[in-house]
Structure 1
Amino acid sequence: MLVWISFALFALVIALCGTSIFIERFAQHLRREGLRERPVPSDVGIVLGAYTDGYRPSKPLLSRLRAALHLYRHGYIRAFIVSGGRGDDETVSESSSMKRFLIMNGVPPQLIHEERWSSNTWENLKNSQALMERLRYRSAVIVTSDYHLPRALAVARTLGIEASGCGAPSSRQEFRAATREVFAHIQYTLRGREAPFWNS
């Protein structure tokens, strides 16, 4: 009996190790895919939100904002949609934090449009699409973390948004977020990329 228990525990450890390796490699694959995307000159950049501590953007959000500023300064986009609501652990909306950062870095306020109601990727892009239509923007560059960009672009395609992407480089400290993205990406793919069944 003890032999069988030991064998079962050994098999479980092997399975968990295999799963861990798969998740890590898939996360690395998503990151590479995101970094491989090349933005196309467009009317507007849609910057997807991430956690903000008051008006202090987190490192992932800073990376996204810096990537968006680079696009603006090099003529790829002429305006911004900053997309993100206020989470339960946030005191201001992510969009407000992003707008303040962009203004402090020289972007005229009238070129920054806030979408402050979304709480997941689908809502980010659905609400941003409505803003694009109202403002008569026809094309967009989606700016988000490299590992998140493949799914964000898939959502954009589902919604019919004319979009290219710019993957903001992620850090090693974002590995946990990247592994969560693996599960969200798989779930989205299995469900046919038709509706928002995720919460990230």
Structure 2
Amino acid sequence: MIYHLMVFVVTVCAAYAGASIFINRFAHHLCRRGRMERPALSDTVIVLGAYTDGFRPSLPLQSRLKAALHLYRHGVVRTFVVSGGQGADETVSEARSMKRFLLLNGVPPEVIFEDIWSKDTWENLRNSKQVMNHVGLRTAVIVTSDYHLPRALAVARTLGMAVSGYAAYSTRREFQSAMREVFAHIQYTLKGRAPLFQERG
């Protein structure tokens, strides 16, 4: 009895260790893959939301916004689509917070378009596509955290969008988010929303 219990415990521990190694390596792979993306000259930049404390964007969201500003100031894009709804723990929508940040950094309001309803990555890209169609924008650079960018691009291409990507580099403190992204990416793959090994555009 004790022998069988020991075998069971060892098997479970080995499986857990193997799964942990897989998740860790996949998370690093997503970060590297995101950082390999290169932006193409486009009509707009789609900035995907992250947590905001009122009108104070979290550090990951600030990183995404600064990356988008870099593209705008270097003439890679000429407009912004800021995409993100209001979470249960937020007092304003992520899109509104992003727009305010951009305005404070000298971006004219007429080149910023908002999607204030999205609750997840699929809605981010679907709603951003609708915004683009409404205002006559055809091509976009997607900006989000490096680990999130591969899934975001796969979703956009599944939706038939003409996109390239530009990564906001994540920090070591964000690696837990990168590990959670592994599960999100697998889930989207199983739903047919984000092919796991889609070619980079």
TM-score, normalised with respect to structure 1: 0.94
In structure 2, give the amino acid aligned to 1:74.
Answer: H
Aligned counterpart, 2:35? 35
Aligned counterpart, 1:72? 72
SS of residue in 2 equivalent to 1:166:
strand
SS of residue in 2 equivalent to 1:92:
coil
1:64 CA drift (Å): 0.4
SS of residue in 1 equivalent to 2:33:
helix
1:7 CA drift (Å): 2.0
Aligned counterpart, 1:61? 61
For residues 11-42 of structure 1, the C-alpha deviation after alignment (integer angstroms, 9 at most, x for no partner) is: 21111011001000000001101000000010
Aligned counterpart, 1:197? none
1:191 CA drift (Å): 2.9
Distance 2:14 2:91 in 1: 43
1:184 CA drift (Å): 1.3
Distance 1:188 1:121 in 2: 10
Aligned counterpart, 2:199? none
In structure 1, give the amino acid aligned to 2:71.
Answer: L
In structure 2, give the amino acid aligned to 1:19.
Answer: A
Unpaired runs of at least 5, structure 2:
195-201
**Residue 45, structure 1, aligned to residue 13, structure 2:** no
In structure 2, give the amino acid aligned to 1:122.
Answer: W
1:178 CA drift (Å): 1.0
1:193 CA drift (Å): 2.6
1:96 CA drift (Å): 0.7
Distance 2:30 2:86 in 1: 27
Distance 2:121 2:190 in 1: 17
Distance 2:160 2:186 in 1: 21
In structure 2, give the amino acid aligned to 1:180.
Answer: R
Unpaired runs of at least 5, structure 1:
195-200
For residues 124-179 of structure 1, the C-alpha deviation after alignment (integer angstroms, 9 at most, x for no partner) is: 11111011011100100000010111110011111111100011101111122111
Distance 2:151 2:112 in 1: 24
